[in-house]
Amino acid sequence: MENLNLIDTFSEFKELKNIDRATMMSVLEDVFRSLLARQYGSDENFDIIVNIDKGDFEIWRNREVVEDSELEDPNIQISLSDAKKIDEDYEVGEEVSDEVKLHDFGRRAILALRQHLTTRILDLEKNNIYMKYKDRIGDIVTGEVYQVWKREILILDDDGNELILPKSEQIPSDHFRKGDTIRAVVIKVEMKNNTPFIILSRTSPVFLERLFELEVPEIFDGLITIKKIVRVPGERAKVAVESYDERIDPVGACVGMKGSRIHGIVRELRNENIDVINYTTNLQLYISRALSPAKITSLKLFEDDNRVEIYLKPSEVSLAIGKGGLNIKLASQLTGFEIDVYREPGSEDEEDVNLEEFSDEIDGWIIDEFRSIGCDTAKSVLRLTTEDLVKRTDLEEETITEVINILKAEFE
């Protein structure tokens, strides 16, 4: 019975686990040899024959025939009288090979052997999973949602391997239920307590990059290169692309006819707005494109400070800043420049007053905070609601209310 149970154990793993034949045979032989070494003190004179296809194995012990009076080590020697019981033709000095039955080891040894075998194969399988996904970092994988928890989602791939999608790596508008199919990119693979942890992400810029590679053949073929991606997951992203072939319009190729190519990416990312920008080494032009859809009147570049001053018509300021300040934030990340937005000189209302005029009533750092979102005059601040100003700046509502009251008093 023990023999059958042991055969069932490794036959089962042979069928269900992704372990190649040579490795499986090596593991089985190592496990048996460790048992033989414990049982007999040495495994050197044993031959182990494993037949994985039939789920069977044999253990043969080789011993030298010696005179009965000269028997010293029964593990490597056999007395002549015992040898003749096996075959009458044996003589001193010859080698006898006899099969060792598994039940000879005893029930406890067999149970230990089975446990050892199970542990070795499981460890091998875990290592295979780790190595498989270690090589797939940065690749998109598809799996099925198996369990949804508060802090993470458990996903099973096609082979039943467990993958983790933490809450922090999910798009805010993601809502998955058990059984849903999900796509994400592998960002980290690590071993904890001898168990592989495969961490996925849908918020990483790499995920967006891989989606572009899937949807745009020119990117996959290397005709178009993605220079940089910045994104606020689920809200907005900016992608700088460049083509080494003058005949190819990189932006047009990425967007596709009537948006056919980018539409699938936007849908996958829960309607995230994606701005595709033509990369250029001309910094002024690059910064202008990064602030799209706003149209810049002029700009002053301060490369030593990694800072740029942008001048726009009043109607373009809100476009440059974007909802919640996202457009200017992403443009800054994409270009690597801190962007200060100003209204075009002479475009303000005649009655408007520059915020600097209120420096005796409003602290300088508060004025700088307003200027950072493109509000450098009194009326530019008053055009926005308190709620918008709270969202766009790091100022407290009480401070903003106080500033609004000061500015309103100027025009009363």
* Domains in the chain: boundaries: 2-132, 137-203, 204-279
- Class of the domain covering 204-279: alpha beta
Going by pLDDT thresholds of 50, 70 and 90, the confidence category of residue 112 is confident
CATH code of domain 2-132: 3.30.1480.10
Q: Which CATH superfamily is domain 137-203 in?
A: Nucleic acid-binding proteins (2.40.50.140)
Residue-wise pLDDT for 54-72, tens only, equals 666 788 888 888 888 888 8
Q: How far apart, in whole angstroms, are the C-alpha atoms of residue 264 and residue 284?
A: 32
Give the span between the Cα atoms of 373 and 6, in whole angstroms.
72
> What mean pLDDT do residues 7-13 have?
56
What number of other Cβ atoms are within 10 A of residue 311's Cβ? 17
Other C-beta atoms closer than 10 Å to the C-beta of 223 total: 16
Contacts of 284 (CB under 8 A, 6+ apart): 299, 301
Q: If we measure between CA atoms, which residue out of 282, 275, 197 comes closest to residue 235? A: 275
Distances (CA, A) of 252 to 10, 67, 218, 249, 259: 56, 92, 11, 5, 9
Q: Would you say the CATH fold of 204-279 matches that of 2-132?
A: no
Q: Is the predicted pLDDT of residue 261 greater than 60, yes or no?
A: yes
Residue 191 pLDDT exceeds 50: yes
Other Cβ atoms closer than 10 A to 397: 11
pLDDT tens, 266-285?
A: 999 999 999 999 999 999 99
pLDDT, tens only, 23-43: 777 777 888 888 888 888 888
Categorise residue 41: left if φ over 0, alpha if ψ from -120 to 50, beta otherwise.
left
What are 238's strand-pairing partners? 230, 275
Identify the residue whose tokens are 């024959």: 49
